[in-house]
Chain A
Amino acid sequence: MEIMPFILILIFIIATLVGYKLISNVPSLLHTPLMSGMNALSGLAVLGALTATAMAMNTGSRILGGLAVILAMINVVGGFGVTNRMLSMFHSKKQEGDEA
């Protein structure tokens, strides 16, 4: 089903405002993980790549689409992966005590 352009733009604007509000609460301590987490989410272009590839009408488009899926998946998986690695490094004094 075609969604009206108006609604798509509206969703974009709302998402932008909500995102802006949410992210302004993140302390600068976590800016790098935040950025790489956001980075991972931008790889959700894979959704567009999947549908576009499946509906592609010629081989050329399918190859391009497959490439897009691969690149976007690297972005998603790699992004969440490095974010997880970074976040697991942040320790507080108390936690250190518990582990010891």
Chain B
Amino acid sequence: MILYYVLCAILVLGILFGISMMSRVETAVKGNRLSAICSAAAILITMFYYHILTDWLLWICIAIGLVIGLIWAYRIKMIQMPQVVALFNGLGGAASALVAIIVFYSGLSVGGFSRATAALALVIGVVTLVGSLIAGGKLHGILAQRPVVWTAHQAITIGSLVVSLILIVMLIAIPDMQTVLIIFCTLFSILFAIAFAIRVGGADMPITISLLNSFSGVAGSIAGMAVNDILLVAVGGVVGASGLLLTQIMCRAMNRSIRDILLGKTSVSASSQSGTDSAVAATETTSAEVTGTAKETADAAEEAASADDPVEILRAAKDVIIIPGYGMALAQAQELVKRLADRLEENGGRVRFAIHPVAGRMPGHMNVLLAEVDVPYEQLYEMEQINDDFATCDAVVIIGANDVVNPAARSAEGTPIYGMPVLNAEQAAHVIICNYDLKPGYAGVDNPLYSRKEGVSLLLGDAAETLASLLEKLQ
């Protein structure tokens, strides 16, 4: 008995140590393995402690999950990572919700505490599952990526949440009606999750993904309380905290509050009516849908900017900062970005990458994409580390990023990006923008960089094509 608790404590410490090893690249791989080994040990110790090692059903289910998990983990492409993370996250939430339901029917739920925690775990688990599936569906392109706003959306969101909470209380208080209550509780949780996730789009995705990550941990932890499993309570707590911290970092990077996100105030809905539609279109247009107008503006812009030849600027540049954004991921241009960086270095230049915390669709998205094409991580700089260096660098190359470099964030009061920390790209001597078109970014605020006459070169179009031709000319 005591041995079990001691072992649990050791495993939790092992997992915590594994997590602390994740804070440095050199030790991160080992840290992840340590956490994995501790998790495997936790499963075996739990089965031994409850004398269920001989339950064949459990082993079959473990084997099925193991095989599917391994296949998915090693088959998926890196570019699919955001939706895969969302999907896995949802499955964890589903498991917690199912555990909660079993608790209600197992006779374990004699105490009020078990019933209360099971009811909570059910709701949070369902919200995690449905929210993650919708987020994943949006990221995978199955669902419309733009924010979907219903009539009376806010009322539906808050209403379904309040009803879910009332149902939780009833579920605790009235055991005789539990089947009906569980069904309604699940339905309203689903409604809340849909209302909450469906109106998230584009640039708000990193916040939502981290928040759902936090939910899955909290759901697990509370399910752990319902079944009296201290290991699960502890680990779930850690996961919940990590998700919350990431959410806070993402929120700070976008200058919004967690409460706004939860209640569905996305950055787009806050923007002025006129900008919204084009903003949505700008984020969601894919390379295949080049519109005539975009091309025309592109031509006009190129003429205007031809005074500064980007090729000559880059050839002469000794200090270049590259700013990648979601457009790089959309165009799958990371390989070409790496080649551009290599070419510039061959010319004797210094190349650094400036990564905004919310660039991409999940926390750290750009780092993973660039790591995949072998950009050494020493070249990847966080915003705070590099923001003072823009003023002294020779050139900035922006690849598919817009809101995160929009100087309007400092001046345009009342716009959704006002107050959002941005990369100081406009301070550089020359700014080369490889964006798809001139439309405003996700937030719908015009970028003054586009209309600047001097020191800005606009290379519009699919980032991969633009970079390919740029590389050719740099030869």
Contacts and interface: CB of A to CB of B under 8 A. Distances in A.
A48 B65 contact: no
B44 to A, nearest CB: 10
Given A5-B225, A42-B92, A29 B25 contact: yes
Given A46-B43, A78-B72, A34 B238 contact: no
Contact of B355 (A28, A57, A90, A96): A28
B32 A83 contact: yes
A19 B73 CA distance: 25
SS of A interface (majority): helix
A65 B61 CA distance: 9
Given A16-B241, A51-B52, A92 B376 contact: yes
Contacts of A2: 111, 228
A62 to B, nearest CB: 7
Contacts of B348: none
Interface in B350-371: 355, 357, 362-365, 367-368, 371
B241 A33 contact: no
A86 B81 CA distance: 9
B337 interface: no
A88 B210 CA distance: 22
Contact of A31 (B15, B57, B246): B246
A53 B57 contact: yes
Contact of A90 (B76, B88, B99, B377): B377
Given A80-B39, A96-B376, A35 B85 contact: yes
A8 B241 CA distance: 16
SS of B interface (majority): helix
Nearest to A92: B376
B47 interface: yes
B68 interface: yes
A86 B368 contact: yes
Interface string A1-40: 1110101110111111111101111111111111111111
Given A51-B52, A76-B39, A43 B95 contact: yes
Interface in A58-95: 58, 60-62, 64-93
A20 B241 CA distance: 5
Contact of A57 (B78, B92, B93, B105): B105
A55 B242 CA distance: 32
Interface of A: 1-3, 5, 7-9, 11-20, 22-58, 60-62, 64-93, 96
21 contacts: A2-B111, A8-B224, A22-B23, A23-B19, A28-B249, A29-B382, A31-B246, A31-B249, A32-B363, A38-B243, A43-B92, A45-B99, A46-B62, A51-B229, A55-B50, A55-B108, A73-B66, A77-B73, A78-B72, A79-B88, A85-B74
